Amino acid sequence: MLPKTPKWLEDISTSCSFILQVTDDKSPADYEADDVLRAAVERHFEIIGEAMNRIARYDSEIAMRITDYDRIISFRNVLIHGYDLVDDQAVWSVIRENVPELKKQVQELLKLVD
């Protein structure tokens, strides 16, 4: 593992935790109605995607150990470049279906550093 990879993995883990924490007691309707919540969650998805992009670029062996790492990067690109195409229901689905597993995988990789 490259020296910067643990930092990028920590950034992903921290952003996953944030997303899960701020959406824990929310419904999809709550999420759609709250501009500040959506902006905060999208910002943390951008961080996740950019950190994953750096891992993929500089430490591809680690990136390949993360399920759908390339889709994570693509999701970030849509949030940044296709802001007008963002589907709140799709984002909510990613929060509930993918973020917990991503966090788990990243935490397992971070154990390799200790």
What's the confidence (pLDDT) of residue 6?
98
pLDDT category of residue 113 using cuts at 50, 70 and 90: confident
**pLDDT over 80 at 43, yes or no:** yes
**CA 110 remoteness from chain centre:** 16
Q: What is the mean pLDDT of the chain?
A: 96
Would you state the structure tokens that stand for residue 48, as one six-digit string? 């996740």
**pLDDT over 90 at 114, yes or no:** no
Give the domain extent around 95: 5-111
Contact 105, 9 (CB under 8 A): no
List Cβ neighbours of 30 (8 Å cut-off, separation of 6 or more): 37
- When divided into structural domains, the chain yields a total of 1
pLDDT category of residue 24 using cuts at 50, 70 and 90: very high
pTM for this prediction? 0.95
What is the rounded distance in angstroms from the CA atom of residue 76 to the CA atom of residue 78? 5
